[in-house]
Every structure is written in C-alpha cells, then in structure tokens.
Amino acid sequence: GEIHHHQFVIQPTAVNRLCQTQQVMTVNGQFPGPTLQVHNGDTLVIKVTNAGKYDISLHWHGVRQMRNPWADGPEYVTQCPIKPGGTYTYRFTIENQEGTLWWHAHSKWLRATVYGALIIYPKPGSSYPFLKPTREFPLLLGEWWNRDPMQVLRQAMITGAAPNISDAYTINAQPGDLYACSNKDTTIFPVEAGETILLRIINAALNQQLFFAIANHQMTVVEADAVYTKPFTTNVVMIGPGQTTNVLVTANQPPSRYYMAATAYASAPGVAFDNTTTTAILEYKAAACKSKNGSPIRPILPQLPAWNDTNTANAFTAQFRGLSKGKVPLEIHENLFFTINLGQINCSRPSFRCQGPNNTRFTASMNNVSFVFPKGTSILQALYQNTPGVFTTDFPPVPPLQFDYTGNVSRGLWTPLRGTKLYKLKFGSHVQIVLQNTNIFTVEDHPMHLHGYHFFVVGTGKGNFDPTRDPANFNLVDPPVRNTIGTTPGGWVAIRFVADNPGVWLMHCHLDVHIGWGLAMAFLVENGVGKLNSIEAPPPQLPQC
C-alpha cells in the first residue's frame, strides 16, 4: 500500500457559532478536522504537534491497529497524552478494513472540536459491493457548546452532577438554519437530479444518540463501522456516538432544496438532554431551487421521530445483517457477562461538591467496578516495562451480585469499587460478552465501544438475559459487525469476537460524560506465539506522563 504523511497541529482557533466567537482546539485550524482518505492496505503516518493548552491524544476510532496498540491513542491506556509543546507520530496500517471510520481526541472532552473523517476506499482495482455512487460526502454529526467544553466537563466533575447540555447539534460543524446566526453557513450538499450519492454519516456528538432523516428521500444503508452490510432501505437512521453509517441516496425527487436534519434520540429520559435540531440542505443543481426574486427557496423539513421513539430506533437497528458469512466463532472459550450501570457513590474526594442525595455523586461502573485511568504512566507502557502497581487483572467476568437488572433497585445494593482492573484474554480465544444494561438509579442508553476490534452482534433482547433460553435465538449466520453497539435500559446485547489482536484495549460507553464517571474497562490480550502474533516494539518518542 501507499504511505500517507500528515501533519496535525492542535491549536486554539477562533470559531464563530450561534452569534458568538470563542477559542476552541482544532487540528490545523480546521473544524471539523481534516478528512483522511486512504485505500485498504495503506499506511498513515501522522505527526501530531500539540500547540494548544491542554494535554491531548488522538484515537483512530475503529481502526483495528493489529499488534500495534501504541497507535490507538486513549490517554493513560495506550499512551501518555501529548503535552502542550510536545509531538507524537502515529504510524499505522489499515489491514482488511473498508468504509467510513473517524478520528477524534481521546482526552477529556477535547473531541468536541477535535475530530474528522477517516475514509478507507477499497484497494486499487477493487470496488464497492454496490453500484458506485457519482458523488460522496462525509457527514459528521456533532455537538456544540457556547463554552469551552473542557470547562463544561470540569464544572460537572467538581459538582459531581450531570454536565450542562450542548447549545446545538451540528452537521459538518455547522448548526444550520434553525439556530440563531447560523443561516448563511448552513452545510449544503449539491446533487444533480437523478444521481446516486453516498453519505458517510458519522456520529461525533459527545453525549447523544441521534435520529437523521432527509425530507422526501429514502436512504439505503450499505455499510456501518467500516464493514459492509446487506443493503436495506429506511426513512430514518438512528446512530449512536462513535458509530458510522454509510447510506446511498438517489436524487429522484422534483429538483428543489430539501432539509437533512438530526435530533436527539433517547429511549428513556435519563438526565436532561439537548432537544434542538440541526439541519443541512440537499440542493439540486437546478433553476427550480431559486424563487422568483432570485433568493433560494425554503427547503422542506423531514419528519423526525419523537426523541423517545424506541419503536423506530429498534426497528432500524434490527434490520442490520452482515455480509461476511461463516466467520462467527461458534465454540466459546470466554463467556463473559458485564453489567453496565449508573449509580451514585459516596463522595470520597473533598474537592467534589456532591450534589446528589446524602452526600453522593454520580458514578458509573461495569460489573461493579468504576474504571480509574492511571496518572503517572499508561497501562500499555506499564505492561511493557513491567511497572508494578499501575493496574490489576482481576476484572470480574460476571457481576459479583445478581438481581433483577430491570428494576430500579436501591443504590444500597450496589456500591461500586474504583480501580484500574483489566480482564486478561488468551491470544486467539473466542469471546462472548453479554452486555446487560441495568436500571439502577437512572435509566439510560449506553453505546458501548471496543477498541482494537470489531465484533459480531449475535443477539439482543429486553429484560434480564437468560443464559438457558436466549442463546437459542442468537444469529450465528449473518450477524452485523460493529465496533460500537447501543445497549438499551433494562436490555442486553450479546457480542462475539476472536481475541486475535494482542495489546491493551479499552471498552467504554461512548457518551463521554459516562467515561468521566468510570463507565469503562480494558482487556489485556496476551501475545500469541511468534512475532506475527505479538505486540510490536513501541515507537520512538512515546510521550511520557
């Protein structure tokens, strides 16, 4: 493959949105950040220089990083963050992946403005498994705050309460016509009547699942998380933070201007959320797009489902089928069951002003462990250098306590431990994880993302997972393949993968506020035999903490 060199300079940039200007961190002054375009098999060499004021690291979301966790990016997990003034070069090869992925900061809430698309075309000479579109556009959904998002997070962590909700959603970093002072910068996607375009939809929002629709136009889903799917047609896409969804759209309507719009989806109210709507415009290149006096005509808005329309969301998700048959691991060596819950913890740090009842604050945990990111080093560096005391490998494979996960049980039943606990997997083992979303304390969706892997989604259901009955209904024939999967309140999702990528790999909820509360764990996948099954040597100039 080809080698692509890029320079990414993280820098404060004046950005004007919603009638005011503020300094935010960007890459090379671009917002959204640069689109990386490569072919399957190519290598990326990205020299990142931190000219900003915050520690930062970058993550290439969904890239498998085979044997190369050093390039994965989550701060304190695979590397120390790059300090202001520092530099780190990410070097990685795309191995057998095609489609849309993205990259984002993996430090606190910096990904609010530090993100961009990563597009992987088929190898030269091969093509898509669908008719080649005449035009392609990345479509990045995002979230905007009228304050520095790092300050929003800081405030939330000090009080221990939920953070302030965002002030706008965005499409390609623009809020669009329905927000103040945004009209003239609304993103426009030009089309010729009759052509079929490919939209590479990425949900880069920090804390919100979104519905997306285009007025009067259907979408055909062909790929998600850089894996092709069996095509299916839909009026509405539901997309969780971290996920990508490629859709084909045929411009088969009367030439005009049509709104594309996105708004919040949550299957339960949970904490307060932003319920505004972002728009862009699908604009036919035709005279009909102008009114008599020469000004552009007003587009039609699509029908978007209500924020809590779980039927539409679930019906959409249920349509996904994989194309890769016969590769699902059938025999399972590691049968894991992880509960995912929010809750409250007694305040242990005097700096936290606890605003929950009885001197408590929010927390989040998996199998009763609230994840703590190390400070003085990264887990991967500690592993490589045999530094003791940084992490343990006693993450519990099943919850220490069993009860009705769908009930709103009292928090007294469940007081999480805090720790940097990993679960160790043998190289090559076949892993099944049932992710059980519990209704303890508050009821929320959790889009769960696994680094370094994609996985088969073999089953999903409501209520408590039943190990004696539910596996009989698993789809082991053509399950979808994802790197991020939504889990719904009081419901479960079963995933399977082969532990063929050695390293330290984070698994976490992609709602960033939940990471701050500890909704994460990590796998330590041991080396196999020989160099081709082992972690590569660390690159030069790994940042130090």
Interface positions with ligand C2O (CB under 6 A): 59, 61, 74, 104, 106, 242, 449, 451, 506, 508, 510
* Min separation Cβ 242 and ligand C2O, Å: 5
The total of other beta-carbon atoms located within 10 Å of residue 167's CB is 18
| Of residues 74 and 99, the one with the C-beta less far from ligand C2O | 74
* Min separation Cβ 449 and ligand C2O, Å: 5
| Of residues 373 and 384, the one with the C-beta less far from ligand C2O | 373
| Of residues 317 and 484, the one with the C-beta less far from ligand C2O | 484
Burial per residue of 99-116, b for 16 or more beta-carbon CB atoms within 10 angstroms, e otherwise: bbbbbbbbbbbbbbbbbb
Q: Rg of the Cα trace of the chain?
A: 22
| Of residues 86 and 240, the one with the C-beta less far from ligand C2O | 240
Q: Give the CA angle between residues 459, 462, 463 to the nearest 5°.
A: 120
Q: Give residue number: closest CB to ligand C2O.
A: 61
Q: Any residues with CB less than 8 A from the CB of 496 and at least 6 apart, and which?
A: 328, 329, 332, 430, 431, 432, 433, 455, 456, 458, 479
Helix (H, G, I), strand (E, B) or coil at 416: coil
* Min separation Cβ 383 and ligand C2O, Å: 18
| Of residues 104 and 411, the one with the C-beta less far from ligand C2O | 104
- The Cα-based distances of 418 to 74, 191, 392 in angstroms read 19, 52, 12
Decide the pairing of beta strands 455-462 and 481-482: antiparallel
Instruction: Tell me 537's DSSP state.
Output: P
* Min separation Cβ 34 and ligand C2O, Å: 17
| Of residues 106 and 217, the one with the C-beta less far from ligand C2O | 106
| Of residues 35 and 312, the one with the C-beta less far from ligand C2O | 35
- The Cα-based distances of 436 to 57, 337, 451, 460, 472 in angstroms read 30, 7, 19, 10, 18
CA distance 16 to 187: 15
| Of residues 8 and 258, the one with the C-beta less far from ligand C2O | 8
| Of residues 59 and 411, the one with the C-beta less far from ligand C2O | 59
| Of residues 77 and 219, the one with the C-beta less far from ligand C2O | 77
* Min separation Cβ 505 and ligand C2O, Å: 10
Are 241 and 203 in contact, with CB atoms under 8 Å apart? Answer: yes
* Min separation Cβ 104 and ligand C2O, Å: 6
Are 278 and 171 in contact, with CB atoms under 8 Å apart? Answer: yes
| Of residues 76 and 137, the one with the C-beta less far from ligand C2O | 76
* Min separation Cβ 329 and ligand C2O, Å: 24
Token pair for 172: 């390609």
Phi, psi angles (nearest 5°) of residue 462: -95, 155
Helices H / strands E in the chain, number of each: 4, 32
Are 443 and 273 in contact, with CB atoms under 8 Å apart? Answer: no
* Min separation Cβ 388 and ligand C2O, Å: 26
Helix (H, G, I), strand (E, B) or coil at 426: coil
| Of residues 451 and 514, the one with the C-beta less far from ligand C2O | 451
- The Cα-based distances of 395 to 54, 72, 522 in angstroms read 31, 22, 9
* Min separation Cβ 59 and ligand C2O, Å: 5
Burial per residue of 230-254, b for 16 or more beta-carbon CB atoms within 10 angstroms, e otherwise: ebeebbbbbbbbbbbbbbbbebebe
Q: Give the CA angle between residues 396, 402, 406 to the nearest 5°.
A: 115
CA distance 238 to 247: 12
* Min separation Cβ 529 and ligand C2O, Å: 29
Residue with tokens 């099954």: 533
| Of residues 451 and 482, the one with the C-beta less far from ligand C2O | 451
* Min separation Cβ 418 and ligand C2O, Å: 19
Token pair for 260: 């594309």
* Min separation Cβ 510 and ligand C2O, Å: 6
CA distance 186 to 165: 22
* Min separation Cβ 122 and ligand C2O, Å: 24
